[in-house]
Structure 1
Amino acid sequence: MVEGGDTVGEPSNRPPSQAVIEAVAEAEGVTPEGLAPPAYEPLHAVVDPTALDGLFAARSDGTDRPSGTVSFRFCGYDVTVDRDGRVALEEPTEPAD
């Protein structure tokens, strides 16, 4: 993780989409309900929440999927979600002039 990044949450049974909302809300100092338009972009504007949850859901036979991560930018953060439900937030660094 880049210096200054923040990992939010322990492994969890929450859907990844909910974990992202909660992590960004905490970083922004608002409630998850407060992380809403017009002040904040909706999660579905950058990633399909159902697809995000499906990436880490158990297989149809009930077995866990192998480990992995998915990353995207949301509300000004580089967000990385792992299979265990941990969310890492990083504020992007501005390019040097």
Structure 2
Amino acid sequence: MTSHRPTTSVAATEDRRTSTAVVELVARVDEVDPIALEPLYDAIDPDTLDSICDTDSGFRSLSFRYAGWLVTVDSRGDGVEIALSEPASLDGSVTDAPDAESSL
């Protein structure tokens, strides 16, 4: 993992589940087939991710580690935005991020 990768984001839509969007985004950024990635459920329960990211749930933000990335899911209007960044400390060094953190 290199520290020069940019933060990348994608919006999940009604016809695309948040869990699917996370896997597709990581696969695209890492330039691998989504099947080659570790299962998302090793990081977070996909059904729970999809249900708490529902716009009617009062969801605001959630962060978790997956496949070497810090994945942040934020509420944005009618959907969510998914951003990838490398876990880093304030001095820029890569650090262990918490497995899951949420703000409801």
Same fold (TM over 0.5): yes
Structure 1: tracts of 5 or more residues without a match: 59-63
SS in 1 for 2:22: helix
2:12–2:82 CA contact under 8 A, matched in 1:
no
Aligned partner of 1:24 among 17, 23, 26: 26
TM-score (norm 1): 0.70
| Counterpart check, 1:92 vs 2:87 | yes
Change (3 A) 1:25 1:74: same
Correspondence for 2:51: 54
Distance 2:11 2:87 in 1: 23
Instruction: Using the aligned pairs only, state the percent identity.
Output: 36
* Contact 1:12-1:86 at 8 Å conserved across structures: no
Relative contact order, CA 8 A, sep 6+: which one is greater? 1
Q: Deviations over 1:30-78 (max 9, x none)?
A: 2xxx223xx53210001000000010225xxxxx233401110000000
Please report how far the alpha carbon of residue 90 of structure 1 lies from its aligned counterpart in structure 2 after TM superposition: 0.3
Distance 2:84 2:7 in 1: 5
After TM superposition, the score normalised by the length of structure 2 is 0.66
Structure with higher strand content: 2
Q: Distance in 2 between matches of 1:40 and 1:10?
A: 20
CA contact 1:5–1:88 (8 Å) conserved in 2? no
| Contact 1:25-1:35 at 8 Å conserved across structures | yes
- Matching residue's letter, 1:53: D
- Partner of 1:74 in structure 2? 66
> Structure 2: which 5+ residue stretches go unaligned?
89-93, 96-104
1:8/1:68 Cα in 2 relative to 1: closer, same or farther (>3 Å)? same
Change (3 A) 1:70 1:5: farther
